Structure 1
Amino acid sequence: MSQVFGADLFSELDRLQRQMADVFGGFPSSIRSGRSGAFPPVNIGSTDDTIEIVAFAPGLKRENLEVSIDKGLLTISGERGPSYADDSPDSKRYARERFVGSFRRVIELPQSADPDKVQARYANGCLSISVGKREASKARTIAVQ
């Protein structure tokens, strides 16, 4: 069996699983759906005044994160290094579920988003982004005369 799959069967199975996920993962159809395993995973919601995005990215340094907005697209990018256990040349890896490497998530914002009203904060492994809504898009009550 080691001749067919190489010396490390678990590494081969891990590689095959990642390839299958890439092939059958599909493409997102809206900001509410995404490919399984995309990093960082996000929650997206809204209030009357803001669009709230929370990206779950533990183990990152604030200076390794970048948030930008252009033409209605919010981009979260950065890089996540290996954990200390991955650095050892003597260790064999049987499974790898923690994402390592550079990443980029692009989220299409609704037309009501105001690109001049964006705040981002990273704490406890969560990147919280708040995007204000344009005044013209907010609900208002019209007096009936």
Structure 2
Amino acid sequence: MSDAFFGTDLFSDLDRLQKQMTALFGGFPSSIRSGRFGAFPAINIGATDDSIEIVAFAPGVKQENLEVSIDKGLLTISGERQSVCPDDTSEARLYAQERFVGTFRRVIELPEGADPDKVQAHYANGCLSISVGKREASKPRAITIQ
């Protein structure tokens, strides 16, 4: 027989241990490009010659619960994701919850050449696509050698 003793609710003990491990090691990204653990929504950022392209992955968020704003070179994505689980009055017991529920906010610092007057956002299938135009002076151009 094992010397280990488990309480009456093994799943809550494991959940507590996972939270403690995340709190202990979660603040150290594995590389310079790693995002912080649990950041929501996850984002991809890229650029073309004419714009900065941002895609925020927000499954389960309704379009009317999203807000995008830009101020002083900072693009902010905020909103709220509602729960799809049964409410607390049901008889089902929750053993694990990995899906984030609640309000969120991500702030992205835009490059200096971004034009805050040229921003477009589209939402489809849980993906928020944001295109921020670049100022004419910051666009690449060919230089003729004389």
Q: Give TM class, smaller chain.
A: 0.7 to 0.9
Normalising by structure 2, we get a TM-score of 0.84
User: Which residue matches 1:116?
Assistant: 117
Structure 1 residue 17: Cα displacement:
2.1
Question: Which ranges of structure 2 fall in alignment gaps of 5 or more residues?
Answer: 1-5
Q: Where in structure 1 are there 5+ consecutive unaligned residues?
A: none
Aligned pairs for 1:61-72 within 5 A: 61-72=62-73
- Report whether the alignment pairs 1:54 with 2:55: yes
Q: Which moved more, 1:131-140 or 1:8-17?
A: 8-17
Q: Is the 8 A contact 1:52 1:130 kept in 2?
A: yes
Q: Secondary structure at the match of 2:142?
A: coil
Q: CA shift at 1:33, angstroms?
A: 3.9
Q: Deviations over 1:24-79 (max 9, x none)?
A: 32278xx9542022111111111111111101111111110000111111110000
Distance 2:107 2:34 in 1: 12
Q: Stretches of 4+ moved more than 3 A in 1? A: 84-88
**Larger-gyration structure (1/2):** 2
Corresponding pairs, count = 139
Q: What is the identity percentage for the equivalent residue pairs of Structure 1 and Structure 2? A: 75
Structure with higher helix content: 1
> TM-score w.r.t. structure 1 length?
0.84
* Paired residues of 1:32 and 1:44 also in contact (CA < 8 A): no
Match of 2:102 in 1: 101
**In structure 2, what residue type is equivalent to 1:34?**
G
Structure 2 equivalent of residue 143 of structure 1: 144
Residues 1:20 and 2:12 aligned together = no
